A and B are shown apart, each in its own frame.
Chain A
Amino acid sequence: MDKVWVLAEQSAGSPSAIALELLSKARDLAQQVEAITYGAGGQLAAATLGEYGATKVFDAGDLGDSLPGPKLAAAIAALAASEGAPGAILVGMTYDGRDVAARLSARLDRPLLTNVVGLAKEDDSLVTEHAIFGATKVLKARFTGEGPGIFVVRAKSFAAEPSSSGVPETAALDLPDAGATDAAKVKGRHAEEREGPALDEAPVVVSGGRGLGSAENYALIEELAKLLKGAAGASRAIVDAGWVPYSHQVGQTGKTVKPTVYIACGISGATQHMVGMKGAKNIVAINKDQDAPIFSIADLGVVGDVHKVLPKLIEAVKSRS
């Protein structure tokens, strides 16, 4: 494989963690690793992208009030036509990454593989790994048709490691008119306030599930998370129930987390949840049902009532400091 493209998301000049993970992986796959970036600060991000292996950075610049999907897919399709298509296009499984990959797939009429957690060269083709059935099985797959293959990769699948490569060449990426597909416009952006570290970067994640009994009891999760300098997570059940915002969700549909310690409180361990936290170094589970699936992967399982254990644990941590 001669060339791999990586869609590298960045914010104000800082590449996203997954962009650097993808670039690091791309170095194993091809000699020529080229990044495609967008948004204000792309020029600034180029240096870091180069550090992680990009030999060339195409910068689409600020997209204004457009959503990234339509314009970037049109631009990448045009780039493939003018520069020659790469063997593979790697995209992060993020809100925007999915949109870009989906539209690009339809534009190029190429299939895509999503939820990729592993990628390796085998005989001249790329073989993907996917965690299925609640990560109890690993499925390997590959494309059989003409490239480029579009791979949509879950966060934290690969380690981000800087390389010794030099300063990348940079080029402006032209944004073609995407017509009616680009008609959705962003009228306002809202950042939710967050105390402490981001959920997917925190060394400690304390998560709550249906076993908490009520939305009010989520305060216990937040308090313990804060005391441990960690982040508060949630199962899909209580996000669906409206107890906490979607941004707290850990699992298949939410965030993938790999903290030093994951503390699951009142979470039974649905497969959809386990996919998102199974990679934690250590897992502590508190659940009153001794048959809860979460105990099968917990390093320390406490069969007990979260309403009793959590307040005592909070007090114990407090009195320690």
Chain B
Amino acid sequence: MNVAVCVKQIPDPAGELSLTPDSHTLVREGKLMMDDSDAYGVEMALQLVEAAGGGDVVLMSMAPNGETSGLRTALAMGAERAVLVSDPALAGSDALGTAKVLAAVVKRVEPDLVLAATESTDGYTGTMPVQLAELLGWPSVSFAKQVSVAGGAVNVRRQTEAGYDEVTCPLPAVVTVTAGVVEPRYPSFKGIMAARSKSVEQLSVSDLGIEGSQVGATGARQEVVSVQQADERQAGEIVVDEGDAHERILAFLEQVKVL
């Protein structure tokens, strides 16, 4: 069984994030890293392929400047190879534009299953994988908290408002996984060394037969009107606990009438 995993390479979320002054899109020029949220999909894919007794885990990514550092992390975890779409025409792409690009990649890779995070850490639109499924004409199961594959179908525990649903879905399919679905492994030294020589196929938009107008800022058909400072909440009173802070909290709860 072959599993493709969507891997987003993002600016360090713990670092200083900024928007470009003209288009107000996230600055992605510096070094990028694998979105932590994607580690769960990569780990899930590795475990599913192993359980199936063979197959490849292929990474799919879209990033500027031929960026591969995040992909190397996922390759070091054990993925076989990666396909990276990098093209100046993609700057400013929205979720639907990204889904169009990845749909073209899926048609080349022909996986049995596509895994993705429920949303990225930087843009958190949270719709790309299901848009991808619709473009491919595939079924999808979002918010998976448990995943297994048997008899040509994927079985998923899907998070719901009330609890969870047991969902069965024939392959090929797109499944989005929540954090905590599996415990991602840390790349071993051997894995890191091996990742250096693994294949990262680089493609442009025209390689995929996609019209430039369908993607990038033009294809996104949306614009940022303004970015302003939010109303700041003011910090209130800070007390250092000297064994009696609970009394202060109790008084506060009484003051706001929840006690």
Interface residues of A (CB under 8 A from B): 67, 69-70, 73, 93-95, 98-99, 101-103, 105-107, 109-115, 127, 131-133, 135-145, 152, 179-192, 203-204, 228, 230, 236, 239-242, 246-247, 252-253, 260-261, 263, 272, 278, 281-284, 286, 290, 295-305, 308-309, 312-313, 315-317, 320
Contacts and interface: CB of A to CB of B under 8 A. Distances in A.
Contacts of B66: none
A125 B257 CA distance: 42
B133 A141 contact: no
A186 B96 contact: no
B230 A186 contact: no
Given A180-B138, A240-B179, A309 B241 contact: yes
A67 B250 contact: no
B167 interface: yes
29 contacts: A95-B159, A98-B127, A99-B142, A105-B95, A106-B96, A106-B135, A112-B96, A112-B127, A114-B124, A137-B230, A138-B229, A141-B224, A180-B138, A181-B134, A184-B141, A186-B166, A190-B163, A192-B162, A203-B258, A230-B258, A246-B178, A261-B258, A298-B238, A300-B248, A301-B239, A303-B238, A308-B243, A316-B246, A320-B259
Contact of B139 (A106, A143, A180, A299): A180
Contacts of B227: 132, 137-140
Contacts of A189: 160, 162-163, 165-166
**Interface majority SS on A: helix, strand, loop or mixed?**
mixed
Contacts of B180: 239-242, 246
A183 B250 CA distance: 54
B127 A102 contact: yes
Interface stretch (B73-81, B199-207, B215-223): B215-223
A138 B166 contact: no
Contact of A290 (B163, B167, B238): B238
Contacts of A299: 236-237, 252
B14 to A, nearest CB: 9
Given A106-B131, A284-B249, A313-B250, A131 B230 contact: yes
B258 A137 contact: no
A105 B124 contact: no
Contacts of B135: 106
Given A69-B130, A300-B236, 17 more contacts: A95-B142, A103-B134, A112-B95, A114-B124, A133-B17, A137-B230, A144-B223, A183-B169, A184-B168, A184-B173, A189-B163, A190-B164, A192-B162, A192-B163, A298-B238, A299-B236, A309-B249
Contacts of B240: 290, 302-304
Contacts, number: 261
B239 A114 contact: no
A70 B227 CA distance: 35
A114 B125 contact: yes
Given A139-B224, A179-B137, A300 B237 contact: yes
**Interface majority SS on B: helix, strand, loop or mixed?**
mixed
Q: How large is the interface on B (under 10, 10 to 19, 20 to 34, 35 or more residues)?
A: 35 or more
A301 B183 CA distance: 33
Nearest to A93: B126
A94 B161 contact: yes
Contacts of A188: 165-166
Nearest to B95: A112
B170 to A, nearest CB: 5
Nearest to A272: B121
A112 to B, nearest CB: 6
B99 interface: yes
B247 interface: yes
Nearest to A109: B96
B183 to A, nearest CB: 8
Given A140-B226, A316-B247, A182 B96 contact: no
B118 interface: yes
